[in-house]
Homo-oligomer: A and B are copies of this chain.
Amino acid sequence: MKISARNFLEGTIKEVHKGATTAHVEIEIKGGIVTASITNESVDELGLAKGKKAHAIIKSSDVMVAVE
């Protein structure tokens, strides 16, 4: 499957923290840590767990730019 989102950041899952409905998944990429907020169902269906290879995927319209 190819998807229109422009940002694919390769990494390894560092931590998964499940809440009541929403989970926070920390992915360690080269540049640091990326945190995703996704549904608990997706965590289960994708088998997300510490040490698993994963990509952080982000649509370009959701990326902001900041400068000092």
Contact = CB atoms under 8 A, between A and B. Distances in A.
Taking the full assembly, how many copies of this chain does it contain? 6
Given A21-B37, A39-B37, A64 B31 contact: no
Interface of A: 1-11, 13, 17-25, 27, 29-32, 34-39, 41-43, 45-48, 52-68
The interface residues of chain A, by DSSP majority, are classed as strand
Given A57-B64, A60-B37, A31 B48 contact: no
Top-6 shortest CB links A-B: A19-B21, A19-B20, A30-B31, A62-B62, A36-B63, A4-B42
B65 A46 contact: yes
A56 to B, nearest CB: 5
